[in-house]
Every structure is written in structure tokens, then in C-alpha cells.
Amino acid sequence: MSIGRNAPGDHRTGAMGRTLYDKVWDDHTVKGYPDGSCLLYIDRHLVQEVSSPQAFAGLRQAGRKVRRSAANIAVADHAIATGGARRLAPDGLAALQLRRLEDNARDFAVPYIPVSDPRHGIVHVIGPELGFTLPGVTLVCGDSHTCTHGAFGALAFGIGASECEHVLATQTLRQSRQKRMRVRLEGVMPDGVAIKDVSLALISRIGTGGGTGHAIEYAGSAIPALPMEARMTLCNMSVEAGSRVGMVAPDERTFAYLEGRRMAPRGVLWERALDHWRGLPSDPDAVFDRDVAIDLGKLAPYVTWGTNPSEAVPVNGRIPDPASETDAGRRGRLARSLDYMALEPGMRVEDIGIDRVFIGSCTNSRIDDLRAAARVAAGRKVSARVRAMVVPGSAAVRMQAEAEGLDRIFRDAGFDWREAGCSMCVAMNEDRLAPGQRCASTSNRNFEGRQGVGGRTHLMSPAMAAAAAIAGHLADVRSFLS
Amino acid sequence: MTPFGRVKSVAAPLPESDIDTDVIFPARFLLLLDKAGLGKHLFNERRYDRAGKPRPDFILNQPPFETARILVAGQRFGSGSSREQAVWALADFGFACVIAPSFGEIFYTNCFKNGVLAIRMDETSHRALLQASQAGDIVTVDLERQRVSWTSGAVSFDIDAYRRRALLEGLDEIAQTLSDDSGAIDDFEARWSSRAPWVQIEGQHAAPDGGKDTP
């Protein structure tokens, strides 16, 4: 991988080419302020149960309305159960949160998708499925993984509840333009290496703050062949590198995915949209403030061993030793991670035994992800020491997987086949780790307690998680594919 | 929002890097619906043992830091989830100011929406401030003069002029946008919907017919 810093250009003069990010930004600038910040128009807002109650409460308190109800979709994904009686009849605090979302959607005329609806799913999975997510739009959600939608060439970023309230009331946000960073993916991924491995390799090299202050654009010769699912995974993980924005320029693959979807434009509007979208890719002479290149051909499957996503190594590697770290701060951080994760310096990654497997989340719960995991699970059995679950990202993914017989493959292998939701990515529903349990997970964060108090998370690709489920320990999926 | 005054207090040192918002405010408490009263869950797993008893080794359980109004944190403080509950919990606990070499971006923005001043400080000054905090120095944060001072040192800090004003005046940003910019937003919407009519979804969402249902 090479990293270069380019001379920063003034992107506002119009004298040089513009990036994809700048084009969408410029299209949405309502006005500029003297300090260089802008009032940015927001086309789309996904509303979920965790970050919206306080925003609606604020509107009520001030007697304000939602400016443009139809620009929103409300859906519950974080707190819901992924099976059992409590899925449709939740109790306790989760029931109150769900009811609050329903009440707010009704009172403010925001379109709401119930848990029982065939369109239901994780916000970042259903936005694209519905054609709510489109190239060249601005899209926000009170969730950091909103960068997922950048896979379509949308300018999409996560915001807090106060900003949600601002968007609901005004359809705008005051924002400052980010610097631009280009991550070029070159070459072809070897069999067994997935786009998740590219993200983990990138973050392990540039760090969890490597993208801070920058909007990332993923480019390079590997992009055209990447399915939309892979592009979504790639953009989704941008925030784990510190960047709120990760984008891929829209191309024919993007358009083919979107054409005919419920909320995508049709007829003459579709043609006009295509004209506009074809002008969005970064100009050849556009300048990026920072350039990073990754040779995909040289990558191995990655797993995280620590408590942030940059603490990752190839699966055939070893756990690092704090003693060989010269910087005292980094040494302390490393030791703390190893202590929380109950790992010994120098041990082989493949010797790490696991208790649970989670295949799902807004990062890796789409149909291609399930196909990759099923390919490994087919004809094999989940280790007796492991409890493994597959949680499709949406009702549509679940139906498609069942139509392809993937559910059968998973069930026969001993995986639990669940219904859509954030599930064990975030410990605020029934799916969570018990203290001390170790999980091979396709989610996005291995933070302390993220999957449950005292739980230990190893992030990896869906195929790698399936391999771990079968082996009972972290395992190199490449040995399962021969 | 209450206007931000000068803050003078002991500063709690928490130098560990990468304290993410899941550590600041664990996910299971996100089921709570209100902003108020979240301070008791701040740093929950670090602050309390499994039985709910305060861990004596955690800085906020040690006098004089349990009354600190300034937090001196490590690199990338508040990275991860966008949950604003992390800021509501810090503010409810009593923190008015967080100082770190770098922050998670969404967390940083969220601070200013809740009257909490987040200061990015260069690592040399940060190290000195950390030492002073550990010694129990009284630290003064003066937003008006953009200055942090303690017994043996002082340093200026940069802050976006708009955010500074918003804090000092306790600005209601929504009210300001509505009063100052409603006309500009109307004009933009008219322009944008004629230029990019496919973006408008009024009426389309309810259409139950057609549309492919493949994921």
C-alpha cells in the first residue's frame, strides 16, 4: 500500500476538476456562510427508534413541524427481537421505544415501515432496496453507518439526534466541507478474500483516525467489478477509519441495481436522472488531498484481535506483543486490548477458540454476504462448542435467501436462521454475548462491550465467520474452499 | 441552550486513547427515551463492577474528580457510534468541557449541540495539561478568550467562530435557521426540484404496486 499527500487545491474556484463529493455538495448548497461553512440541503432522512425520540420531543416542545414528511422513512431496527414472540410483541423498554417511533411517525406524518412489513429491515439495507437511496442525493440518519449509502454515489453521513431534529424542522444542516481522500483499489481479490478484508486491511494501516476530516472516495481498477453489496460494505466501514463519508462513483452496475425499485424514478424521470448521474464521477483532473492505494491481489483474510477495528491482522498471523512496541501510549493501549480480549502475545490467530458466531449487521447481511457464508457452510456442521446465527439484513434478503435455499444450507449446518434487525451488532436487543463469550462476527465494531457486557468480538468477513463456526476457532477460510 | 460561561474546576484525567461512545455510554441504556438523567450510566462498565458497586480505580470515583467539570481525554475520544446519549451523559454528570488531541467527528459535533465545549489540543500542551490535571490543579477554560490555563501553564485553542458564538449565546440553531434561512431554503427547493425532479418522492412512497422486491 502506498500513501501520498497531494498539495491541497482550492476546490471552490471552479478552475480545476471537481470530485464526486464536491459535485454532490455543490448541488445541495443552499447558501454559504462567511466562515466557509454551508447550509446543505438534505434530500433524504432515515429515522430509527434510537436517535429519533429526543428529536421529535424537541419539535413538540418548540411547536415545530416536520418540513417535508415524504423525505423521511421511519423504521425500527436496533431494539427489535430477531425472532420469537417478542419480535411482534416486544416488552419493557424496547416496547416503549417502538411505540414512541410509531406515535411520532403518525403524529408527524412520516412514512413508517412496520416490523411485520415485507419492506422491513436495517435502515442501511432497505434504503437501497427501496430505491430511497439514489446517486447524487444527500442522505442522513442518526446512525454512524449512514456512510453505507455512499456506495451509490450519494453524499450520506451519520448525525446525532440534535442534527436529526434540525433536518426534520428545516430539511438542512450547517456543515463544513471535508478534505478529500481517495482510496484506490487495484488488482483482483484472491479467492477467500472479501471486501471486508480490504476494509480491515485499510483501517489497520491508516488507523481509526486515518480518515478523520476527510470524505473518502473509493476508486481504482477493482471498482467496476464490485457488486453493490460489496460497495456497501466498503463504504459502511469508512466510519471505522474515522471518516463520516465514503463514496463510490455511480456506474452501470449502480443503475442496473436501482432500475425498477419501488422509489426509484421511472420513465422520462429515470432517463433524466441517468443523464445527471453520469456526470457525477470525479473529473479526471480532480485533486484529492490524500491518496492511498491497496493491492488487492496481495491481501489475505483479516481478523481483528483487539478492541478497535484497526487492531487487525491476517488470519495466518500472530497476536502482537506489547513488549515490542516502543511508544508507551501505544504499548499501554495494546496491553489493555489484550487484557480485555484475554489473549496472549505471540499466540497464533487460528488458535483462538470461539463460542458464538454472528453473521449479519448493516455491514454484512446482504444477499451476497449470505451466499459467501453459505458456500462455506454447505455440507458441513457448526462445531459443537459454537452457537451460530445468521440474521438477514431485511425481509427481502431473507426471502431471496430462502428462494435460493440458503436457509436450508444454514439450518442443516446448525446455524440459527433469524429475522431482520441489527441483532448482535449492538447490545440493545435480545441477541447479545454473555460476559467472557468470544464471537466471530461480521459486524463493524469490536469495542469493549459492543456485543454485550464483557463480550469479546473478532471482526471478519461472512465467509471467514462461517469457517470459524465450523472449525470452532478462528480459521482460514481459504482451506475450506479447495 | 444555556449560554456557556467560564469553567473553573479540577480536570479529570482519562488519557487512554480510543475511548469510543460504546464505552462512554453502553448500548443497552440507549433504550431510555429521555435526554435527562443519563449521567448515572456514564462510563458504566468502567465506573461500576458487575454488582453495581463503584470501582475505586476509576478516575471519576476518586476525589476530587467526581465533581470535575472538565475532562482531559485521550486521542480519538468519542469515536464510533453517533449516539448523542454519550454527550447527554457527560453533560448530566457535570462536564462542561472535554479536551483531547482528537475526537470522533460526530461526537465532536454533538458536544456543541448540547452546550459542551470540545477542545482539540496539540499533543505537547495536552501532555502538560494532563500532568497538571493528575496533580489536581484547578483548570480554567475561558471560551471568550479561547484560553485554557492552570497553575503552571496556559494555552490558546482554536474553535470555529460559529460554534463559539453558538455556545456563548446559547443559540437555538433551529430557530436561527428558520428565521434567517427559510426563504433561501424555499428558493433552493424550487430550483432543485425543477433541476432534479426525480429526487422528489411525494406520492411515490405510498405506491404499493410494482417495483422489484429483490434485495
Cell digits of residue B100: 483531547
C-alpha angle A281-A189-A366 in degrees, rounded to nearest 5: 70
Is B52 strand, coil or helix? coil
The nearest CA of chain A is from the CA of B202 a distance in Å of 6
A137: number of Cβ within 10 Å: 24
Domain co-membership, B195 together with B162? no
Cα separation, A47 vs A382, whole angstroms: 37
Q: Which of A137, A170, A329 sits opposite B177 (nearest CB)?
A: A170
A358: number of Cβ within 10 Å: 28
Inter-chain residue contact A170 with B185, CB threshold 8 Å: yes
Q: What is the CATH number of the domain that holds B148?
A: 3.20.19.10
> What's the longest Cα–Cα distance across chain B?
71
Contacts of B105 in chain A (CB under 8 A): 212-213, 242-244
Contacts of A159 in chain B (CB under 8 A): 82, 106, 109
Residue B206 has pLDDT above 50, yes or no: no
Domain co-membership, B186 together with B162? no
Q: Do the Cβ atoms of B24 and B118 come closer than 8 Å?
A: no
Domain co-membership, B159 together with B70? yes
Whether B29 maps to a domain, the answer reads: yes
Alpha helix segments (H runs only) across chain B = 21-24, 44-47, 85-93, 105-112, 123-134, 161-169, 173-195
Contacts of A261 in chain B (CB under 8 A): 211-212
Inter-chain residue contact B76 with A209, CB threshold 8 Å: yes
Whether B122 maps to a domain, the answer reads: yes
Cβ burial A208-239 (10 Å sphere, 16+ → b, else e) = bbbbbbbbbbbbbebbeebebbbbbbbbbbbb
Among A73, A170, A423, the strongest candidate for a mutation testing the B interface, having the largest count of B CBs within 10 A, is A170
Domain co-membership, B84 together with B21? yes
Look at residues A426, A475, A476 and name the one whose alpha carbon lies nearest to residue A455: A426
- pLDDT tens string B109-120: 999 999 999 999
The residue type of A291 is: D
Inter-chain residue contact A449 with B173, CB threshold 8 Å: no
Q: Do the Cβ atoms of B140 and B152 come closer than 8 Å?
A: no
Q: Give the contacts of A378 (CB within 8 A, at least 6 positions apart).
A: A409, A413
A250: number of Cβ within 10 Å: 25
The nearest CA of chain B is from the CA of A466 a distance in Å of 21
Inter-chain residue contact A53 with B106, CB threshold 8 Å: no
Q: Which helix (H) or strand (E) holds B154?
A: strand B153-156
Q: What is the pLDDT of residue B210?
A: 53
Inter-chain residue contact B109 with A263, CB threshold 8 Å: no
The nearest CA of chain B is from the CA of A139 a distance in Å of 11
Q: Which domain holds residue B43?
A: 6-171
Q: Which chain A residue's Cα is nearest to B109?
A: A160
Contacts of A161 in chain B (CB under 8 A): 84, 110
Inter-chain residue contact A242 with B205, CB threshold 8 Å: no
Q: Do the Cβ atoms of A263 and B204 come closer than 8 Å?
A: yes
- Give the alpha-carbon dihedral of A364, A369, A370, A371, to 10 degrees: 180
Inter-chain residue contact B181 with A209, CB threshold 8 Å: no
Among A208, A229, A331, the strongest candidate for a mutation testing the B interface, having the largest count of B CBs within 10 A, is A208
Whether B12 maps to a domain, the answer reads: yes
Residue B8 has pLDDT above 70, yes or no: yes
B133: number of Cβ within 10 Å: 24
Contacts of A50 in chain B (CB under 8 A): 30, 83
Among B19, B41, B106, the strongest candidate for a mutation testing the A interface, having the largest count of A CBs within 10 A, is B106
pTM of the complete model: 0.96
Among B181, B186, B205, B209, the strongest candidate for a mutation testing the A interface, having the largest count of A CBs within 10 A, is B205
B197: number of Cβ within 10 Å: 13
CA-based Rg of chain B, rounded to a whole angstrom?
21
Tally of domains in chain B: 2
Inter-chain residue contact B26 with A261, CB threshold 8 Å: no
The nearest CA of chain A is from the CA of B132 a distance in Å of 18
Contacts of A166 in chain B (CB under 8 A): 173-174, 177
Q: Do the Cβ atoms of A367 and A353 come closer than 8 Å?
A: no
* Burial status of residue A465 (CB atoms within 10 A of its CB: 0-12, 13-18, 19 or more): buried
Inter-chain residue contact B102 with A273, CB threshold 8 Å: no
Domain co-membership, B135 together with B70? yes
State the average pLDDT for chain B: 94
The residue type of B157 is: F
List phi, psi (to 5°) of A345: -55, 140
Domain co-membership, B77 together with B121? yes
Q: How many CA atoms lie within 13 A of A475 on its CB side?
A: 22
Q: Which chain A residue's Cα is nearest to B201?
A: A70
Q: What is the pLDDT of residue B203?
A: 56
- Of all residues in chain B, the percent with pLDDT exceeding 90 is 90
Cα separation, B206 vs A263, whole angstroms: 9
Q: What is the pLDDT of residue A2?
A: 54
Look at residues A474, A238, A230 and name the one whose alpha carbon lies nearest to residue A364: A230
Q: Give the contacts of A173 (CB within 8 A, at least 6 positions apart).
A: A39, A40, A42, A140, A159, A163, A166, A167
Contacts of A143 in chain B (CB under 8 A): 81-82
A70: number of Cβ within 10 Å: 16
List phi, psi (to 5°) of A136: 75, 5
Residue corresponding to grid cell 421511472: A266
- pLDDT tens string B15-39: 999 999 999 999 999 999 989 999 9
The nearest CA of chain A is from the CA of B168 a distance in Å of 17
Inter-chain residue contact A366 with B31, CB threshold 8 Å: no
Inter-chain residue contact B31 with A428, CB threshold 8 Å: yes
The nearest CA of chain B is from the CA of A251 a distance in Å of 18
Whether B1 maps to a domain, the answer reads: no
The nearest CA of chain B is from the CA of A480 a distance in Å of 27
Residue B153 has pLDDT above 50, yes or no: yes
Q: Do the Cβ atoms of A49 and A38 come closer than 8 Å?
A: no
* Burial status of residue B128 (CB atoms within 10 A of its CB: 0-12, 13-18, 19 or more): middle
Q: Give the contacts of A288 (CB within 8 A, at least 6 positions apart).
A: A6, A19, A180, A181, A182, A217
Contacts of B213 in chain A (CB under 8 A): 118, 396, 399
Domain co-membership, B154 together with B57? yes
Q: Which of B106, B173, B207 sits opposite A144 (nearest CB)?
A: B106
Domain co-membership, B90 together with B133? yes
Whether B27 maps to a domain, the answer reads: yes
The nearest CA of chain B is from the CA of A468 a distance in Å of 26
Cross-strand pairs, A113: A75
Whether B176 maps to a domain, the answer reads: no
Domain co-membership, B135 together with B189? no
CA-based Rg of chain A, rounded to a whole angstrom?
22
Cα separation, A337 vs A345, whole angstroms: 11
Q: How many angstroms separate the Cα of A242 from the Cα of each of A239, A335, A339, A446, B28?
A: 5, 23, 25, 15, 24
Domain co-membership, B24 together with B85? yes
Domain co-membership, B31 together with B127? yes
Among B46, B198, B214, the strongest candidate for a mutation testing the A interface, having the largest count of A CBs within 10 A, is B198
Segments in chain A below pLDDT 70? 1-15
A458: number of Cβ within 10 Å: 25
Task: Report, as an integer, the average pLDDT of B79-97.
Answer: 98
Q: Which chain B residue's Cα is nearest to A136?
A: B199
Domain co-membership, B185 together with B167? no
